[in-house]
């Protein structure tokens, strides 16, 4: 008993010490918290922009949190409590993100995290954790977008998202997906996990299990009429459980004004919807890598019928000759992707039948899915109902609209007339992402498939690609704002070479290329991603992806910024809030020069605020010039906020920040007395107003 008492006392002492440290950490940040003045963090949407409660334009600059939230914690009973990190670590990570100038989180959750145990059974511990961790996020002025994340439907179909029971309730047997080539997963593909082919997981969008589930989810009532689950039409069963799970999240977050909205679903897939001929490939949008069965071959394999399947590589045969490397005979070994006694749903509705004489499947309806338009017939009706349901609980919620990734989009972006909605399309440079190699002189147009050569041409192509997304918001969404929901780079370029050499210059250049293209279009964005438990060996702990801005394996010092990778690319000056309509807000990495150019309006009397990092670019200080008005500096832990009050007599305003060679912070505008210190010099000089070359008005 004495021994137990000592252990108990030690544990109590540890808890007390931990709480003291947490309280101390909170005190360190309270100066940062009070800067916002406690004003509402709700957003207004108009004229293609986000506005704060003071009427200032916001260019949201954020990150997806986090990469490992796709997976449960540990190998035991399923639990997502602690994703993206334990509560005890929350202030460490949120503080780091704020220090890096990030103002917005696209917070990753999954349907499985909420409802993994069974239909209608919700994980209350996870929901409470979710509320607790997001309450802490507000201390750091972080707005939050809830991202109901999925990739290729579920963990059992090669990705993440839906619970296991969604598969079994429709009659599928995930244990046989590998044998029937119905899914390609790291843990069942037959090789070592570390040898899993890079960026092969998206091929599951074009394999049987994933395509079947999405077809039933979006259009089961049209393409599988009469198919019921627990007495409900299969489409209604799946959609209602998905929506109700997200509504449970809305209920626990309803009073948090910094939770600004919800995504509908991350990178939704149309499944078979829109395929013109099931005996052929999924149009030209299919990612063909490794085994690439046609949709009908996938149905046949899932029912246990051997097939001769094309095998594709990423070499000359595909990109020059558009031909597979070989034809491979695939045998199912008597296994089926369906449970014993359950026939294939597509056979049941007459897409194909098994010939009595030959005992081979025969395709009857090759165009069974061709008449539906995924956007207008499936996605928009769902998104409209989903938004209405969420707003019954959170009336202020913004809806973040996503369609399939641009590389796999089969139908045009549909008209979306849902109020308070945002175009949250994703964008990556495909060459950098899929090849894990930064080639500043080469990329491929995802629409035309044509190569683009030359550094300037590549940069211009990326700017045009993002402009096209922004223009879609105007054309199809009534001028809604655009927030690029995912963008970023893999950090494991060139077979993890940077983790050996410590040289991240290629990653810095690649990241700058992406963010510069975003800035050129005045776009808000959330980078993919921040993973608190990222490692050099396993990346973001999911399919060998490694896109995290942070890794503890790079934390070689006790500094708060330790672990940040290629920070020079994304820790950069940016406008937090603009008292007018922006014309230009851009950072030149080579010169460490930031320029803000805007036109003032009568909509706000509040000041413009600029984030200025004291790391990455301005360790030796910086110099500020403005065209008019006054400035003062607010100093925080590792960064400054430059508060600029323009002269109301002037219409256009320019602010420039440059690196200061003598190590001091200086400004050409009058400062408040509280900002004066020994290290700061004041230069009274006006900067000649200049127009941004080629800039667009909004």
Query: Which tens digit of pLDDT belongs to each residue from 637-683?
Result: 899 999 999 999 999 999 999 998 765 556 555 443 333 332 333 23
pLDDT in tens, 128-156: 999 999 999 999 999 999 999 999 999 99
Does 594 share its domain with 661? Answer: yes
pLDDT in tens, 538-574: 999 999 999 999 999 998 888 888 999 999 999 999 9
pLDDT in tens, 192-205: 999 999 999 999 99
Identify the pLDDT of residue 450: 86
Does 508 share its domain with 629? Answer: no
Does 540 share its domain with 653? Answer: no
Which CATH number is 57's domain given? 3.20.20.80
Give domain status of residue 669, yes or no.
yes
Q: What is the mean pLDDT of residues 90-113?
A: 98
Does 598 share its domain with 543? Answer: no
Q: Is the dihedral of CA 670, 672, 673, 676 positive or negative?
A: negative
Give domain status of residue 13, yes or no.
no
Q: 653 by DSSP, 3-state: which?
A: strand
Domain that holds residue 676: 579-682
Does 397 share its domain with 540? Answer: yes
pTM given for the model = 0.91
d(CA 452, CA 257): 44
pLDDT in tens, 235-244: 999 999 999 9
The structure tokens 């790079």 sit at 554
Identify the pLDDT of residue 39: 76
Count of the separate structural domains present in the chain: 2
d(CA 579, CA 605): 7
Give domain status of residue 351, yes or no.
no
d(CA 64, CA 85): 13
The structure tokens 């003291």 sit at 20
Domain end: 553, 570, 587, which one?
570
pLDDT in tens, 23-43: 333 333 333 333 443 578 999
pLDDT in tens, 451-462: 999 999 999 999
pLDDT of residue 306 exceeding 60, the answer is: yes
The tokens describing 623, both together, are 């110099």
Does 556 share its domain with 675? Answer: no
Does 514 share its domain with 647? Answer: no
d(CA 544, CA 492): 9
Distance of CA 602 to the CA centre of its chain: 35
pLDDT of residue 123 exceeding 50, the answer is: yes
> Within 10 Å of residue 348's Cβ, how many Cβ atoms?
14
Give domain status of residue 17, yes or no.
no
Q: What is the mean pLDDT of residues 194-220?
A: 97
Of 412, 517, 423, 514, whose CA–CA distance to 471 is shortest?
423
Confidence of residue 394 (pLDDT cuts 50, 70, 90): very high
Identify the pLDDT of residue 445: 86
Q: What's the whole-number average pLDDT of the chain?
A: 90
Give domain status of residue 348, yes or no.
no
Identify the pLDDT of residue 13: 38
Q: Is 327 left (phi over 0), alpha (psi -120 to 50) or beta?
A: beta
Confidence of residue 688 (pLDDT cuts 50, 70, 90): low
Looking at per-residue pLDDT, the higher value among 665 and 530 belongs to: 530
Identify the pLDDT of residue 409: 78
Identify the pLDDT of residue 318: 79
Which CATH number is 598's domain given? 2.60.40.1180
> Within 10 Å of residue 508's Cβ, how many Cβ atoms?
20
pLDDT in tens, 271-290: 999 999 999 998 777 889 99
Distance linking the first and last C-alpha atoms of the chain: 73
Identify the pLDDT of residue 666: 62
Give domain status of residue 656, yes or no.
yes
Does 647 share its domain with 667? Answer: yes
Of 377, 144, 141, 99, whose CA–CA distance to 252 is shortest?
144
Domain end: 537, 570, 603, which one?
570
Identify the pLDDT of residue 683: 36
Q: 296 by DSSP, 3-state: which?
A: helix
The tokens describing 225, both together, are 């009429």
Q: What is the mean pLDDT of residues 389-417?
A: 92
Does 415 share its domain with 486? Answer: yes
Does 546 share its domain with 642? Answer: no
Give domain status of residue 31, yes or no.
no
Q: At CB < 8 A and 24+ separation, what contacts does 616-619 make?
A: 616/567, 616/568, 616/571, 616/572, 617/568, 617/571, 617/572, 617/573, 617/592, 617/659, 618/592, 618/659, 618/660
Domain end: 549, 570, 591, which one?
570
The tokens describing 103, both together, are 């103002």
The CA-CA-CA angle for residues 693, 697, 698, to 5°, reads 150
Q: Is the dihedral of CA 270, 274, 280, 286 positive or negative?
A: negative
> Within 10 Å of residue 538's Cβ, how many Cβ atoms?
16
The structure tokens 């980078």 sit at 527
Give domain status of residue 92, yes or no.
yes
Contact call for residues 642 and 657 (beta carbons, < 8 A): yes
Does 611 share its domain with 535? Answer: no
Residues in the chain: 698
Does 504 share its domain with 632? Answer: no
Confidence of residue 4 (pLDDT cuts 50, 70, 90): very low
């Amino acid at each position: 008993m004495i021994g137990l008492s000592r252990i108990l006392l030690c544990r109590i002492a540890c808890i007390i010490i931990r709480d003291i440290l947490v309280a101390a950490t909170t005190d360190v940040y309270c100066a940062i918290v009070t800067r916002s003045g406690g004003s509402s963090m709700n957003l207004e949407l108009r004229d293609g922009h986000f506005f704060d409660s003071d009427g200032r334009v916001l260019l949201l600059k954020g990150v997806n949190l986090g990469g490992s939230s796709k997976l449960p914690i540990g190998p035991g009973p399923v639990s997502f409590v602690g994703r993206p990190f334990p509560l005890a670590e929350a202030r460490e990570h949120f503080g780091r993100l704020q220090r890096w100038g990030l103002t917005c989180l696209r917070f990753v959750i999954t349907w499985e995290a909420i409802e993994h145990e069974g239909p209608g059974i919700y994980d209350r511990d996870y929901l409470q954790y979710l509320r607790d961790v997001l309450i802490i996020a507000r201390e750091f002025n972080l707005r939050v977008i809830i991202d109901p994340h999925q990739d290729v439907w579920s963990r059992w179909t090669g990705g993440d998202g839906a619970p296991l029971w969604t598969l079994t309730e429709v009659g599928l047997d995930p244990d046989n997906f590998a044998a029937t080539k119905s899914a390609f997963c790291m843990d069942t593909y037959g090789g070592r996990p570390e040898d899993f082919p890079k960026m092969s997981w998206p091929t599951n969008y074009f394999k049987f299990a994933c395509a079947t589930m999405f077809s039933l989810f979006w259009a089961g009532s049209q393409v599988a009429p009469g198919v019921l689950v627990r007495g409900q039409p299969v489409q209604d069963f799946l959609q209602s459980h998905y929506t109700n799970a997200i509504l449970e999240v809305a209920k626990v977050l309803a009073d948090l004004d910094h939770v600004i909205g919800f995504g509908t679903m991350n990178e939704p897939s149309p499944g078979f919807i829109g395929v013109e001929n099931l005996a052929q490939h999924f149009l030209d949008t299919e990612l063909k890598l490794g085994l690439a069965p046609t949709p009908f071959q996938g149905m046949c394999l899932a029912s246990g019928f051997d097939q001769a399947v094309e095998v594709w590589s990423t070499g000359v045969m595909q990109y020059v000759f558009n031909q597979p490397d070989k034809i491979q005979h695939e045998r199912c070994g008597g296994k089926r992707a369906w449970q014993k006694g359950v026939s294939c749903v597509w056979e049941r509705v007459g897409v194909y039948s098994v010939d009595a004489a030959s005992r081979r499947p025969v395709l009857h309806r090759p165009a069974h899915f061709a008449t539906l338009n995924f956007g207008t017939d499936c996605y928009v009706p769902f998104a409209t109902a989903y938004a209405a349901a969420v707003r019954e609980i959170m009336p202020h919620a913004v809806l973040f609209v996503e369609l399939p990734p641009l590389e796999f989009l089969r139908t045009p972006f549909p008209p979306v007339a849902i109020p308070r909605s945002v175009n949250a399309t994703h964008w990556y440079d495909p060459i950098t992402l899929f090849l894990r190699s930064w080639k500043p002189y080469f990329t491929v147009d995802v629409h035309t498939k044509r190569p683009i050569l030359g550094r300037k041409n590549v940069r211009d192509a990326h700017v045009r690609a993002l402009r096209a997304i922004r223009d879609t918001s105007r054309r199809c969404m009534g001028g809604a704002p655009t927030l690029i929901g995912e963008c970023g780079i893999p950090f494991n370029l060139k077979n993890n070479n940077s983790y050996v050499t410590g040289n991240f210059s290629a990653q810095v250049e690649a990241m700058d290329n992406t963010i510069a293209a975003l800035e050129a279009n005045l776009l808000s964005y959330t980078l993919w991603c921040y993973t608190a438990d990222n490692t050099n060996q396993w990346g973001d702990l999911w399919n060998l992806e490694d896109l995290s801005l942070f890794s503890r394996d790079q934390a070689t010092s006790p500094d708060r910024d330790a672990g940040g990778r290629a920070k020079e690319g994304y820790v950069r000056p940016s406008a937090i809030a603009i008292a007018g309509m922006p014309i230009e807000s851009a950072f030149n990495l080579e010169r460490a020069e930031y320029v803000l150019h805007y036109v003032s309006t009568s909509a706000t009397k509040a000041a413009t605020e600029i984030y200025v990092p004291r790391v990455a670019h301005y360790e030796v200080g910086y110099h500020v010039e403005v065209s008019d008005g006054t400035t003062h500096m607010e100093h925080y832990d590792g960064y400054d906020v430059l508060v600029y009050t323009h002269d109301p007599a002037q219409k256009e305003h320019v602010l420039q920040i440059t690196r200061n060679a003598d190590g001091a912070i200086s400004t050409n505008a009058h400062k408040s007395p509280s900002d004066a210190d020994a290290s700061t010099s004041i230069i009274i000089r006006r900067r000649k107003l200049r127009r941004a070359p080629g800039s667009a008005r909004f």
